[in-house]
Structures are given as structure tokens and as C-alpha cells.
Amino acid sequence: MQKLSEEIGIDIYPIVGIGSAPFRGNLRPQTVESVAKEYPGAHTFTVQSAFKYDNPPEEVREAIRKLQERKTGSPQEIDEERCLEIIRKYFQEYQKQIIELAPVINKVARHVPSRRKRKLHIGLFGYSRSIGGITLPRAIAFTAALYSIGLPPEILGLNALNEDDMQFIREVYVNFEDDLRDSLRYFNPDTGFLPQGLEARVRDFPADFQPDEEHKEITDYIAGSLKENKTEGLGEYALRAANLRKFLG
């Protein structure tokens, strides 16, 4: 859009819409400055309800003021071919792990409290999604199910990338390690659901992340119940974990 704007001589004002969860962009009152650095070419940032209602009013007002007063900059130049190469590698491993996790995702998703009723749009990674011939739940239940078993979706597939790939990502994804650190608060390595191959990569994650012990206890309980095939009350525990995170999925 920046190149098009320069070519035609007309200003274009990009809008970026992101949520408060790390998986959805990590835009919270506490992160507005870092998110603005991630998207210097964006002119407008939309805020979701959690931004307003899960934080003190004064913090929200101050964060909105910062967003309104910032100057739109130029987008970061990136190597598109290198990005596409990494996406291809990552996608293959991510897809493989999702297929492996599909049975437990679907089992937990049935107990995730519904927050919105929508007409389903069928298709890959739409609201009702299928991958490798396996049907998966819509986005919020899908994401909530993974967090509920202590597997933040942010970490899946990362083992497909070598150190050169990771270094490139750190350069073009400004907040990569901060977002990863925020999501790792809800990581539980002890549930038995960590896909094979991810274990080595987990050891390379930022060493200073602080796990949420209360969230870990809940995911321990959910994992234990699933292994014993006891699903009664699972929705209540999934909701308790979501309350700690301040988002469902």
C-alpha cells in the first residue's frame, strides 16, 4: 500500500485490527507503544472490548491518547521471498501438529462456553475449519481448547524453524520474544500433550518467562480429567482458566 500510495500520489491510511491475546496481536493498554512500533505504517488501530473493559479507565484513556497522538510512519522493508520460505516450513509443521492434537482439541472445545452465536462459514481456517480431512471447531473454541490444555497456539510449529529462521523472525517481527513471553505464562509442559519435536525448541524459549501457577493448576486438572475420560465440569475449569488470562480464545 505504501508503494501504491507513492506511485499514484494519493495518501492511503491502513487500519490494523488486533486483539488483546498474544495470539491475536497483544494490543492492550500496557502494550500500545510496542504494538505501534510493530506496525509503524498503520494509521488506525481498532481496539476490541477487552482493551476497554479489562483495564482501569485511566489506563485505557492514556493508551488511547498515545495511539491518537502517534505519527504514522513508513512500513518496515522485508525480504518477501525469505518470509514465504519460512511460512511454508512453519505451515507444514503446524498443520502436522494440529492434526495430531485434533482429537483433544475437539473434545475440549465441546465444553468451552459459547460467547457468540453465528452462522458458520465453512472453509479452511474459517469459523468451522477442516485440515487434513479433520474438522476443527471455530476460531475462539479452537484457541481456547489449546490454552485450556496448557498449549498456547503461539508455540506450535516453531520446531520447524532453525536458528537462522528464528533470527530473521526476531528482526522483522519486532515484538516476537515479548509476545512469546506473554503467551508462555499459560504454557504447561507437564500435561503430556506437547507435540513430539517441540520439546527441544521449548528449551530455547526465553528463560525469563513467568508461568501463571494458578493457570497451570487448572490445566493440570483438565489434562488429568481428559486422561481419565472424565469431562463433567470441564467447561467450568476452561472458563476459570480463561478468566485468569482475561480472554476465552
Please compute the mean of the pLDDT values over residues 115-129 and round it to a whole number.
48
How would residue 123 be classed by pLDDT, with cut points 50, 70 and 90?
very low
Does the pLDDT value for residue 139 go beyond 50? yes
Identify the residue with better confidence: 76 or 126: 76
Does the pLDDT value for residue 108 go beyond 50? yes
Does the pLDDT value for residue 117 go beyond 90? no
Quickly list DSSP for 40-89: TT-SEEE--HHHHHSS-HHHHHHHHHHHHHSPP-PPPP--HHHHHHHHHH
CA terminus-to-terminus distance, the chain? 30
Q: What is the residue whose three cell numbers read 489434562?
A: 223
Please compute the mean of the pLDDT values over residues 215-244 and round it to a whole number.
94
Please compute the mean of the pLDDT values over residues 167-184 and round it to a whole number.
93
pTM beyond cutoff 0.95: no
Does the pLDDT value for residue 23 go beyond 60? yes
CA distance 158 to 96: 12
Provide the b/e sequence for 196-213 (b: ≥16 CB within 10 Å). eebeeeeeebeeeeeebe
Q: What is the pLDDT of residue 132?
A: 67
Lowest-pLDDT range of 6-10, 35-39, 123-127: 123-127
User: Among residues 13, 16, 11, 23, which one has the least CA distance to residue 139?
Assistant: 23
Q: What is the pLDDT of residue 120?
A: 46
CA distance 87 to 228: 37
How would residue 92 be classed by pLDDT, with cut points 50, 70 and 90?
very high
Q: What is the pLDDT of residue 225?
A: 95
Does the pLDDT value for residue 116 go beyond 90? no
Segment 142-166, tens digit of pLDDT? 999 999 999 999 999 999 999 999 9
Residue 225 burial by CB count (10 A; 0-12/13-18/19+): exposed, middle or buried?
A: middle
